[in-house]
Structure 1
Amino acid sequence: MGLLSAVLVFAGLFALGAGVGAATGFDLGDLFRGPDKPPPREFPVLEPSRPKRLTIPAIKVAAPVLTVGLAEDGTVDVPPPTRLHEAGWFGDGPTPGQFGPALIVGHVDDNTGPAVFHRLKELRPGQRIEVLREDDETAIFQVNSVERFDKAKLPLQRVYGDYSRPSLRLVTCGGAWVGGDSGYADNVIVFAALIGTK
């Protein structure tokens, strides 16, 4: 799917209908296709290994990570409503620490209260995010920015097409509740870069 098509269907990516998370996003298509051979860089690059735990000390997140894919309608899925306190790694993209933007999604809330990414918007540049992987390496990321975008005006290439280094995108809903198919009006996105491992 081309970038224009992705823009047209992206508007509902993390709509939380009736306060309960329901993915109505977009087909990532070409956006997660990085270079065949990454250019050499002076920062760590890890081999593929799926994430299993996400830790964000600044906002007290310590959550299991499950793998999500595409929903039946071709949109990005999210953890089911029964797993609101878990994050979901998009399994068709890079794993955390590989070249490219690893995508981890999570709910902000539901009609019973806060969910795993309720405080995501409080993160600030310089703060740390750690992702424990199946190979028992922990990828350490540093927050570059926390931004809010209207769901219909996301800079898709910047969010999902940046293969300049290993990076991480944390995504949830934000802004005003508008209901209907949109849920919240905006997406909150954390941009972070890999700075080390342990």
Structure 2
Amino acid sequence: MAPQRYRAGRHALGVTAVALVAVTAAGCGGGGKARAAGTRPAASPSSTAVKPLARSVPSRLRIPKLNIDSPIMKLGLNADRTIQVPPLNRLNMTGWWKGGPTPGEKGASVILGHNIGNGRASVFDKLGTLRPGDTVRVTRDNGSVATFEITRLEQIAKSRFPTDKVYGKLSYPGIRLITCGGRFDSSSGHHVDNVIAYGRLVNAS
């Protein structure tokens, strides 16, 4: 089963140029292309008053509702400019896209996880069951814990991947958790959709 491949445009590396971002799903392949994050910022949630945190690399992801307690690895770029993914045989591993903000910094911090690895349920298998108000906790290397509240869930065809909403500029600290889902296409060997959980920082300790 093919690993997930996310194509990072120059904007994802912090450069404002518009590029194409190809998304294929975690642990289930497939994919399409979407216009890269442009300069249009997403709206700031009106209820968040938590100040952005200083940069600190994430080390652990906890989602109480899903009984997830996952180590986080750094994800860079492959030679073809697709984003690396956690190894398929490490079912509990998630990965943070190191070209973007760390969780708790202002902006959209992106964490990827497989939903299936080598034919077995993986860490984000139940990601689509999250609901607004559920919490996500990220432990960072400086010892701080950034707590996020899920604000919305989205399941969308990979061909219509919402790059602006995932990678676009934010005026507040946000998080995006991404895996794959939807119908399994036996002809391609991949699921046809992405599942995306959006969240905002609500506490830091």
1:77 Cα deviation after fit: 1.4
1:82 Cα deviation after fit: 2.4
Contact 2:174–2:201 under 8 Å retained in 1: yes
Contact 1:15–1:24 under 8 Å retained in 2: no
Q: Aligned AA for 1:174?
A: G
The structure whose residues are more often strand, as a share, is 2
Distance 1:114 1:99, change over 3 A: same
- CA RMSD in angstroms, aligned pairs only: 2.7
Report matched runs for 1:183-194 at 5 Å: 183-194=190-201
The structure whose residues are more often helix, as a share, is 1
Q: Distance in 1 between the 2:200 and 2:52 partners?
A: 11
Q: Is 1:14 equivalent to 2:2 in the alignment?
A: no
Contact 2:34–2:162 under 8 Å retained in 1: no
Q: Distance in 2 between the 1:23 and 1:83 partners?
A: 21
1:151 Cα deviation after fit: 0.4
1:137 Cα deviation after fit: 0.2
Contact 1:67–1:90 under 8 Å retained in 2: yes
2:76 to 69, 75, 98: 69
Q: Distance in 2 between the 1:166 and 1:23 partners?
A: 30
SS, match of residue 170 in structure 2: coil
Deviates more, 1:103-112 or 1:90-99: 103-112
2:177 to 150, 170, 175: 170
Q: TM-score scaled by structure 2?
A: 0.80
The aligned length equals: 184
Q: Is 1:89 equivalent to 2:96 in the alignment?
A: yes
SS, match of residue 171 in structure 2: coil
Q: Distance in 2 between the 1:42 and 1:48 partners?
A: 18
Misfit runs of 4+, over 4 Å: 22-32, 179-182
Contact 2:26–2:179 under 8 Å retained in 1: no
Q: TM-score scaled by structure 1?
A: 0.82
Deviates more, 1:56-65 or 1:157-166: 157-166
Q: Aligned AA for 1:160?
A: Y
In structure 1, the partner of 2:12 is none
Q: Deviations over 1:26-57 (max 9, x none)?
A: 7997669x9xxxxxx84221000000000000
| Contiguous gaps of at least 5 residues in structure 2 | 1-8, 10-16, 42-47
1:53 to 60, 65, 70: 60
Q: Aligned AA for 1:49?
A: S
Report matched runs for 1:115-130 at 5 Å: 115-130=122-137
Contact 2:155–2:193 under 8 Å retained in 1: yes
